[in-house]
């Protein structure tokens, strides 16, 4: 298979031909500019700088990121839309020498900026993790505390190889509508670059104005469930989705009605399971299985191993629910700040997810351990309730969680976006009667105009708390 997995061979791939973006920034010219800036820094300081990349424009982002890793700089990826408090948290944590892109709410059109952080801010010990050649990808923002998963070029390339082997493709052509600073967007770019493929980068909102033509050779697209739901409302976009070789769906749980619509339209969906720590997907359901009605997340990719059980050395039997543990050549080295350890059990990464393998060896995700609600002595998984509520077709979005309750221990709360303003909780509860046991019914319902989510579909818990009061 054609590839250039090593950094030494990467230079041969870096031309303007592999990348198609709408804003016409010159990728090669930006790479030259970044190299000049690094040469100047090194000549003045005698060292290589730590870089935070927060470019808004895809070409500039990729030119900056790839130049930094070719130069073996420690590089942090940042979200240009971070709020002021998040920026302060990140700057105190990372202490970069250079920021390429946006700093806070201030645009740095020419890229380079010194960072001023209060002298009293505690320095993070980066000696072991944020060193030469390390790649720090943000994760964990939904909890209100941003941290970085620490990767290397080798861990990211292990994910590319596993993907390539699983789908048996030489060239990986990608259409990316997800943010490049997030692992799901970044890996689309790296798959295309290192396999001589082509990358199309588009703002998601632009799809509702004009859909780009997709070439006859296979293209891969990645979406989160809320994005797919929006696209399915437009016949022209449905036709556009059908052109893809594979449409990956991950980042958040999907629901019955969404999957039913996708199958009705014969969209080649591939449900996936992965995370920032594993450089995106480690389990994937191939489209042919999805279209036959399979709702699992599929089979483990070649570069990973997954065990379900309370401990990885005590695996569950098929169809028994347990904690998901995994090993992967693409697993990150740890987290920054370095006080946060990678949870390992018997040589396996212990995730926050629970699920089971069926008799055929396909993985099913049931929910997250840290979201389990204990109400009246019963363990309840919020995802099960969310899926049931979405399946009624009466809400556009929903999020379920537990709150302390003197009688039940925890009471179940459902925050939802109604399809119609006049729709009542009683109507929703009536429809749940045939799907859920009574102890799983929410005791509190709160209707909102929208549920605050990240670009990857994850709920922003702190913002949600501001919208509701119990």
Q: How far apart are CA 232 and CA 468, in angstroms?
A: 30
Residue ranges of the chain with pLDDT lower than 70? 1-5, 9, 12-13, 15-16, 23-25, 103-128, 140-144, 216, 339, 455-456, 469-470
Per-residue pLDDT, 26? 84
DSSP code string of 398-412 = EEEEEEEETTTEEEE
Do 27 and 142 fall into the same domain? yes
pTM of the model: 0.80
Do 203 and 313 fall into the same domain? yes
Do 183 and 36 fall into the same domain? yes
- Residues 283-300 have pLDDT tens digits of 999 999 999 999 999 999
Q: Single out the residue in 369, 384, 419 at which a domain terminates.
A: 369
261-289: string of b/e by CB count within 10 Å (b at 16+)? ebeeeebbbbbbbbbbbbbbbbbbbbbeb
Per-residue pLDDT, 298? 98
| Cβ neighbours of 326 (radius 10 Å) | 24
Is residue 51 a contact partner of residue 61, using CB atoms and an 8 Å limit? no
Per-residue pLDDT, 139? 87
157 is in which domain, residue-wise? Answer: 1-369
Structure tokens at 380: 């309840």
Do 385 and 326 fall into the same domain? no
Identify the CA nearest to 186 among candidates 195, 196, 197, 178.
Answer: 178
Q: Single out the residue in 369, 400, 415 at which a domain terminates.
A: 369
Do 362 and 386 fall into the same domain? no
Is residue 261 a contact partner of residue 233, using CB atoms and an 8 Å limit? no
Q: What is the DSSP letter of 226?
A: H
Q: Domain total for the chain? A: 2
Strands 378-380 and 269-275: what pairing?
A: unpaired
Do 340 and 386 fall into the same domain? no
Is residue 180 a contact partner of residue 456, using CB atoms and an 8 Å limit? no
- Residues 323-379 have pLDDT tens digits of 999 999 999 999 998 767 789 999 999 998 989 999 999 999 987 777 778 887 777
CATH code: domain of residue 14: 3.40.50.12780
Per-residue pLDDT, 128? 62
Do 337 and 392 fall into the same domain? no
Do 298 and 425 fall into the same domain? no
Q: Single out the residue in 339, 369, 399 at which a domain terminates.
A: 369
CATH code: domain of residue 390: 3.30.300.30
Do 435 and 451 fall into the same domain? yes
Identify the CA nearest to 34 among candidates 53, 7, 13.
Answer: 53
What are 300-303's contacts with CB under 8 Å, separation 24+? 300/363, 301/162, 301/163, 301/165, 301/166, 302/161, 302/162, 302/165, 302/166, 303/158, 303/159, 303/161, 303/162, 303/165, 303/328, 303/329, 303/330
Q: How far apart are CA 260 and CA 18, in angstroms?
A: 35
Do 364 and 454 fall into the same domain? no
Do 278 and 167 fall into the same domain? yes
Q: How far apart are CA 347 and CA 353, in angstroms?
A: 17
Q: What are phi and psi of 412, to 5 degrees?
A: -85, 130
Q: How far apart are CA 42 and CA 97, in angstroms?
A: 12
Per-residue pLDDT, 275? 94
Do 8 and 114 fall into the same domain? yes
Q: What are phi and psi of 402, to 5 degrees?
A: -110, 150
Q: How far apart are CA 330 and CA 279, in angstroms?
A: 6
């Amino acid at each position: 298979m054609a590839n250039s997995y090593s950094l030494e061979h990467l230079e041969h791939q870096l031309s303007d031909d592999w990348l198609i973006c709408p804003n016409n920034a010159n990728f090669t010219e930006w790479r030259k500019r970044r190299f000049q800036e690094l040469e100047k820094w090194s000549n003045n300081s005698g060292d290589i700088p730590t870089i935070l990349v927060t470019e808004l424009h895809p070409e500039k982002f990729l030119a900056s990121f790839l130049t930094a890793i070719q130069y073996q700089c420690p590089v942090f990826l940042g979200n240009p839309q971070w709020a002021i408090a998040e920026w302060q948290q990140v700057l105190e944590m990372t202490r970069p020498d250079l920021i390429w892109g946006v700093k806070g709410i201030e645009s740095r059109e020419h890229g380079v900026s010194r960072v001023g952080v209060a002298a009293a801010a505690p320095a993070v010990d980066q000696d072991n993790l944020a060193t030469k050649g390390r790649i720090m990808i943000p994760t964990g923002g939904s909890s209100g505390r941003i941290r970085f998963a620490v990767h290397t070029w080798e861990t990211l390339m292990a994910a590319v190889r596993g993907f390539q082997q699983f789908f048996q493709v030489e060239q990986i052509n990608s259409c990316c509508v997800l943010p490049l600073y997030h692992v799901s967007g970044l890996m689309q770019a790296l798959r295309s670059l290192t396999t001589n493929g082509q990358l199309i980068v588009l703002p998601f909102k632009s799809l509702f104005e004009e859909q780009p033509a997709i070439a006859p050779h296979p293209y891969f697209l990645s979406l989160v469930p809320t994005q797919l739901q929006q696209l399915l409302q437009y016949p022209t976009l449905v036709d556009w989705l059908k052109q893809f070789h594979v449409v990956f769906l991950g980042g958040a749980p999907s629901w019955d009605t969404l999957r039913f619509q996708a199958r009705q339209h014969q969209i080649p969906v591939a449900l996936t399971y992965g995370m920032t720590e594993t450089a995106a997907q480690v389990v994937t359901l191939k489209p042919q299985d999805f279209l036959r009605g399979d709702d699992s997340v599929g089979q483990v990719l070649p570069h990973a191993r997954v065990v379900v059980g309370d401990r990885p050395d005590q695996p569950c039997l098929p169809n028994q629910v347990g904690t998901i543990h995994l090993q992967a050549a693409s697993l990150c080295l740890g987290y920054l700040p370095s006080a946060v350890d990678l949870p390992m059990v018997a040589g396996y990464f212990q995730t926050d997810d629970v699920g089971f393998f069926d008799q055929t060896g396909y993985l099913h995700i049931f929910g997250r351990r840290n979201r389990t609600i204990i109400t009246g002595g019963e363990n309840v998984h919020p995802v099960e309730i969310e899926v049931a509520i979405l399946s009624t077709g009466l809400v556009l979005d929903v999020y379920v969680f537990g709150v302390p309750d003197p009688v039940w221990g925890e009471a179940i709360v459902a925050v939802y976006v109604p399809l119609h303003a006049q729709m009542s909780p009683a109507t929703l509860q009536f429809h749940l009667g045939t799907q859920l046991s009574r102890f799983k019914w929410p005791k509190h319902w709160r209707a909102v105009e929208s549920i605050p989510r990240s670009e990857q579909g994850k709920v922003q818990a702190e913002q949600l708390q501001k919208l509701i009061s119990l």
